[in-house]
Structures are given as C-alpha cells and as structure tokens.
Amino acid sequence: MIEYIIGHINYWLIVAIMMVGLYTLMSRSNLIKKLAGLSMFQTAVILFYVSLGKVTGGTVPIISEKYSLYSNPLPQVLMLTAIVVGVATTALGFALVIRIKEAYNSVEENEISAMDEKE
C-alpha cells in the first residue's frame, strides 16, 4: 500500500493541484482568482500527460545504437498544443475581465450578478 502511494507520488500531487484549482474556481467570487484556478486546473492536466510519457530508465527519443529504451515523446507534443490552448483561454478570459471591469466597475461576481438582477 505504502509502495503504491509512493510509486504514484506524481499522480497524487497532480490530483492535489487539480483539486486546488477546481476549488479556487468554484469558491472565489473574484473573476481574476477564478481564472487563476482555471489555469491551475489546466496545468495539472498538462503535468498528468507529461507524467504519462515518462518511461523509467528511458532516454530522450533520438534513435541511437547505445540506447534501446526511450520515453514516449507523444504526450509532450500533445501538451505543447494544450499549453497554447491554455494560454489563449487565459488571455481571452483576462480580456473579458477587463471589459467587465469597464462595464460594471467591479470584478466581484456577487456584485456583478446583483447589478444584473437590478436591471
């Protein structure tokens, strides 16, 4: 059991980051903090993929006669794309927050929804 937990320590840490991200996302009413939570959530998934590709004792996947065991390069390549997507999402989110701040003069979700209901 202990071995199982220690053997998968990277996955436990990833789950922890993911949950911190999701919790921040749900519990904060500040829109910037929500976006920060969202970013953490996405980062955890990126780490998860990168962990998947690691092969114990494997080396960089460049074919050479000296090595026969290579790490899987595919997850890292996939995550390059996912990082780009994540950056785009966060950037768009911040742009929206700026415009919300201009329109409502607030970035607190509860204040904004109170203003929306008044209309």
Site size for other proteins (CB under 8 A): 30
Token pair of 28 as six digits = 């904060």
Pattern 34-73, other proteins, x by CB under 8 A: x---x--xx--x--xx--x---------------------
The residue with tokens 């494997």 is 58
Contact flag: residue 17 with other proteins (CB under 8 A)? no
Distance, in Å, from the CA atom of 4 to the CA atom of 107, rounded to the nearest integer, reads: 44
Q: Please report how close the Cβ of residue 18 comes to other proteins at its closest, in angstroms.
A: 8
Smaller CB separation from other proteins, 65 or 116: 116
Nearest one of 74, 83, 4 to 43, comparing CA atoms: 83
DSSP-derived 3-state class of residue 66: coil
Helix axes 31-53, 9-27, angle to 10 degrees: 160
Site residues, other proteins (CB under 8 A): 22, 25, 31, 34, 38, 41-42, 45, 48-49, 52, 75, 78, 81-82, 85, 88-89, 92-93, 96-97, 99-100, 103-104, 112-113, 116, 119
